[in-house]
Homo-oligomer: A and B are copies of this chain.
Amino acid sequence: MSKKIHSISCLNCSSWNKSVFCDLQSDQLENIDNHKSSDFYEKGETIFKEGGFARGLFCVKKGKIKLSKMGPSGKEQIIRFAKDGDIMGYNSMLSKSKLSSTAVALEGSIVCFVPANDFFGLIKSDPNFSLKMLELTAKNWNEASRLITDMAQKTTKQRLAEMLLWLKETFGLDEENCINVKLSREEIANLVGTATEAVIRLIGELKKEKLISLDGKRIKLLDIHGLAMLANRLE
């Protein structure tokens, strides 16, 4: 079970400046502080479940989280990730529909919960915040429409290369150029949209082609440009 922890004030949250709340005034932040709660989730713990009702918005103070959807045949599809400063659950709140994905911690994570009322209060009272939210949801769409096209048109290998680059852009690389997040082969498969075995074989191919190498379980990117070529990123 997740552990309630003493709420740290948004005013000195280390992830505040990366979040959609970065332009709020201190009185607005204090108001959120008064109503929010904070929880610590162990690796593998579920923060919320697809199909549930969103009573508010989740904001990641620290950690790495996967957001996934159950496919019709019971296979998980990872849709996006959340990390420090990212928010989750707002889409279903805004569209007044059930949560469209399940959030699971990929490592120990601290997540704050802001009640819906406070969130809608901000939207009603602060046009700049609305704009920020609109900018966020619009960016999500751009990302999503690219993903749809990729899924529909690229080969599994191209998608794998694409996803490795995406992981790099999302979580960055460590000092050894290894992707800075721990995912099982199955999770990578659920991200790429293929079978675990296929991922393993394709990782092997990428290794032979000297685009990546394996450092234990960690994936080291050797040739980012080569991966981008393979993934057929024109831009």
The chain A residues found within 8 Å of chain B, CB to CB, are 69, 71-73, 75, 77, 79, 90-97, 100-101, 120, 123-125, 127, 130-131, 133-135, 137-142, 144-149, 151-154, 158, 192-193, 231-234
Residue of B nearest to A79 (CB): B145
With the chains together, A34 CA to B79 CA distance in Å?
42
Complex contacts, A93 vs chain B, CB 8 Å: 138
Whether A91 lies near B193 (C-beta < 8 A) is no
With the chains together, A135 CA to B117 CA distance in Å?
16
Complex contacts, A75 vs chain B, CB 8 Å: 153
Contact of A100 among B97, B145, B192 (CB under 8 A): B145
Interface hub of A75, A141, A158, A234 (most chain B Cβ within 10 A) = A141
Whether A91 lies near B138 (C-beta < 8 A) is yes
Complex A-B: 14 CB contacts under 8 Å: A69-B148, A71-B154, A73-B232, A77-B152, A94-B131, A94-B135, A95-B135, A95-B139, A97-B139, A137-B140, A141-B144, A144-B144, A144-B145, A147-B148
**Shortest beta-carbon distance, A80 to chain B, in Å?**
8
Whether A77 lies near B233 (C-beta < 8 A) is no
**Shortest beta-carbon distance, A187 to chain B, in Å?**
14
Contact of A142 among B95, B151, B152, B158 (CB under 8 A): B95
Whether B134 lies near A130 (C-beta < 8 A) is yes
Complex contacts, A123 vs chain B, CB 8 Å: 127, 130-131, 134
Copies held by the complex: 2
Residue of B nearest to A127 (CB): B124
Residue of B nearest to A69 (CB): B149
Contact of A137 among B131, B137, B154, B158 (CB under 8 A): B137
Residue of B nearest to A80 (CB): B145
Contact of A149 among B77, B124, B137, B234 (CB under 8 A): B77
Complex contacts, A192 vs chain B, CB 8 Å: 152
With the chains together, A101 CA to B144 CA distance in Å?
12
**Shortest beta-carbon distance, A203 to chain B, in Å?**
18
A130-B134, A134-B137, A137-B141 known; A152-B73 Cβ under 8 A: no
With the chains together, A232 CA to B77 CA distance in Å?
15
**Shortest beta-carbon distance, A135 to chain B, in Å?**
5
With the chains together, A100 CA to B235 CA distance in Å?
12
**Shortest beta-carbon distance, A50 to chain B, in Å?**
10
